Structure 1
Amino acid sequence: MTSTTIDSPRTPAGSAKRRGVNWEKWGWIYMRVSGVVLLVLIFGHLFVNLMVGEGVKAIDFAFVGGKWSDPFWKVWDTLMLWLAMIHGGNGMRTIVNDYARSPRLRKVLVGAIAASVVVLILLGTLVVFTFDPCPVVPADQAHLLPSFCPAP
Structure 2
Amino acid sequence: MHVLDDFDKQILKKLDQDGRIPYSSIASDLGISNTMVHQRIGRLVEQGIIMGTKPLLNEKKLGYDWGAFTSLSLEKDHNSEHVIEELKKIPEVTECYYITGNYTLYIKLVALDHEHMRHLLYDRIDHIPGISKTESIIELGCAFKRNIIL
TM-score, normalised relative to structure 2: 0.23
- Of Structure 1 and Structure 2, the greater helix share is in 1
Select the structure of larger CA radius of gyration: 1
- Of Structure 1 and Structure 2, the greater strand share is in 2
TM-score, normalised relative to structure 1: 0.22
